[in-house]
A = this chain, B = another copy of it.
Amino acid sequence: MFKKYNDKFITIMENTRPLILITNDDSIDAPGIHHLAECVRSLGDIYIVAPAHPHSGQSSALTVGSPLRITELPSDKEGVRLFTVNGTPVDCIKLALHAIVPRKPDIVLSGINHGSNSSVNIIYSGTMGAVLEACIQGIPAVGFSLLHHSLKADFTFSTAFVAAIASKILATGLPEGVCLNVNIPAKVIPEGIKVCRAARGRWTDEYKRYLDPMGVPFYWLTGHFIDEEPNADDTDEYWLRRRYVTVVPVSVDQTALGAIKDIAAKFE
């Protein structure tokens, strides 16, 4: 009798544990995604569904003209299942929801990206492409990025902040159509968390030019980032320079509502 009750109780407990779907754009091989999973492992059952290969700078790209495969990998951690998809971060979210997770996840986390996704970089970010996709599907979603590009980056100081932000959003949700872009300073213990807007920025000097052995030019992406409002004190760039973890609420709807009236006047 007790055994039966206990089994039922365990089943209920298992069914009510939050389901956490994790992806990234640096691929299943990147340390950042496994650190992210460790940060939140105590919060629920974890499905990691990550690109089989790196997809930095892939934005919300999806695979339209070729087939996708799902591969489950062995996991040595209880409560963690590991999958790869031979596609983009958005493919991972779409296919995970369609064919991998047993029910709608309670939260989607993406990252921890090896490198910044502050300011305008959200537009190019595969990390945030996955987050926007989850948001479109009505799931609270947060992207995490560390301001350090190396695959050997040290994520230690990010742990408490990642766990705190994920558990808070898991508990309280997010407004409809809004997801979060979290950036974390590298090599320091952050001063705290600032919720703020994305700085206006862009990249410049974006290509290095080479000549191939035949003398024909080719180009390789490089460049450096410009914060176009360095004196503003309410942007992610400002607070990252001051060693804060920045949280930018991001809207799925990109309509510039404030511009509708003026632009409508052009066509009257």
Contacts and interface: CB of A to CB of B under 8 A. Distances in A.
Contacts of A54: 65
Integer count of this chain's copies in the complex? 2
B255 A197 contact: yes
A267 B247 contact: yes
A145 interface: no
Contact of A59 (B60, B67, B216): B60
The A interface, classified by DSSP as helix, strand, loop or mixed, is mixed
A219 B252 CA distance: 26
Interface stretch (A16-24, A30-38, A116-124): A116-124
Given A168-B267, A260-B195, A262-B175, A219 B67 contact: yes
Given A175-B262, A263-B180, A217 B254 contact: no
Q: How many A residues touch the partner, as a band?
A: 35 or more
Given A136-B120, A193-B267, A198-B255, A95 B260 contact: no
The 9 closest A-B CB pairs, nearest first, are A59-B60, A195-B264, A251-B256, A59-B59, A249-B259, A61-B61, A249-B256, A67-B218, A197-B255
